[in-house]
């Protein structure tokens, strides 16, 4: 039995489709969904659905009964009072279930930055999540991307109407990226393979070494209209987050993350690309994902 969390999210939705389309799928799939109506009709007819949040110990216990593999992702909740508390509220029930119910393998979405990131808000909380899970002794793979290309989709209207996208950075520097489809593909491969053991990080770093201006040039060429990148300082970024309803704790975490990325550069040029796990280039993603979202 494979359990999939966040099955209607950006990564989980693609993962679920890959699992259900896989010729090698021999095990049933169970999903945890707050709103099962958001599942695709084809998925609803082929998976067992547990309604609720995977931060709820009772829901998670029910979902993991008889399961040996779990896909794990802590969803962002901007209203959370504390970044550390938010990640702990999800992770502690998982660790309990692993110890009590015999889950053998966990594949989780984490981040680059292990051994480097310090005081990095959500990134530090994600890396701490990994350590909590590793202590249980479960076979574990932490999927470690840098900046997700899909983070730009929230600015589709600004790109279309103003020709502008914004990034919380203090200067032009290489920003390594990854497409969520590559994360889903790697997660599906691992969940369908019951032979791997131990604990490993799996970096997912796309092939590009683009600065924000370089990303803007690619967007301009793909969209056939001028696009500019505007860099946003930490204070302005935090103020914008608060203005959009984020809690003080969540906004401060993202501000700390932005500052750490600027100062420690673990999403930067020094991170080597990993074509075996993250083959999608930024131009391909812009053609296949961004252009329909902007011009649709």
> Would you list the domain boundaries of the chain?
2-146+179-203
Please state the length of the chain: 296
C-alpha–C-alpha distance, residues 130 and 107, integer Å: 10
What's the CATH class of domain 2-146+179-203? alpha beta
C-alpha–C-alpha distance, residues 182 and 202, integer Å: 12
Pick from 167, 181, 147: nearest CA to 267? 147
Cα 120 to Cα 111, 113, 260, distances in angstroms:
11, 9, 5
Query: At 15, is the secondary structure helix, strand, or coil?
Result: helix
Q: What is the mean pLDDT of each run of 10 residues along the chain (296 residues)?
A: 95 95 83 93 89 96 94 96 95 93 94 93 97 96 98 96 95 96 98 94 97 98 97 95 96 96 93 97 98 94
pLDDT the model gives residue 22: 85
Query: At 4, is the secondary structure helix, strand, or coil?
Result: strand
pLDDT the model gives residue 44: 85
> What is the enclosing helix (H) or strand (E) of 51?
strand 48-51
pLDDT the model gives residue 45: 85
């Amino acid at each position: 039995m494979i359990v999939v969390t966040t099955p209607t999210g950006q990564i989980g939705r693609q993962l679920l489709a890959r699992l259900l389309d896989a010729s090698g799928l021999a095990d049933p799939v169970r999903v945890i969904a707050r709103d099962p109506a958001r599942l695709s009709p084809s998925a609803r007819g082929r998976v067992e659905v547990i309604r609720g949040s995977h931060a709820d110990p009772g829901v998670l216990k029910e979902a993991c009964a008889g399961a040996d593999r779990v896909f794990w992702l802590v969803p962002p909740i901007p209203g959370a009072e504390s970044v550390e508390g938010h990640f702990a509220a999800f992770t502690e029930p998982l660790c309990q279930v692993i110890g009590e119910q015999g889950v053998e393998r966990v594949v989780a979405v984490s981040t680059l930055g292990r051994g480097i990131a310090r005081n990095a808000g959500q990134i530090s909380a994600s890396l701490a999540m990994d350590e909590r899970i590793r202590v249980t002794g479960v076979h574990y793979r932490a999927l470690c991307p840098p900046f997700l290309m899909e983070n730009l989709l929230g600015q589709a209207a600004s790109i279309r109407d103003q020709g502008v996208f914004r990034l919380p950075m203090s200067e032009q520097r290489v920003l390594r990226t990854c497409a969520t489809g590559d994360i889903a593909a790697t997660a599906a491969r691992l969940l369908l393979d019951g032979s791997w053991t131990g604990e490993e990080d799996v970096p997912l770093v796309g092939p590009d070494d683009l600065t924000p201006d370089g990303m803007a040039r690619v967007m301009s060429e793909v969209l056939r209209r001028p696009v500019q990148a505007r860099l946003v300082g930490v204070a302005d970024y935090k103020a914008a987050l608060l203005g959009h309803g984020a809690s003080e704790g969540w906004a401060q975490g993202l501000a700390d993350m932005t500052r750490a990325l600027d100062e420690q550069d673990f999403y930067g040029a020094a991170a080597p690309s990993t074509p075996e796990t993250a083959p999608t280039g930024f131009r391909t993603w812009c053609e296949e994902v961004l252009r329909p979202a902007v011009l649709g």
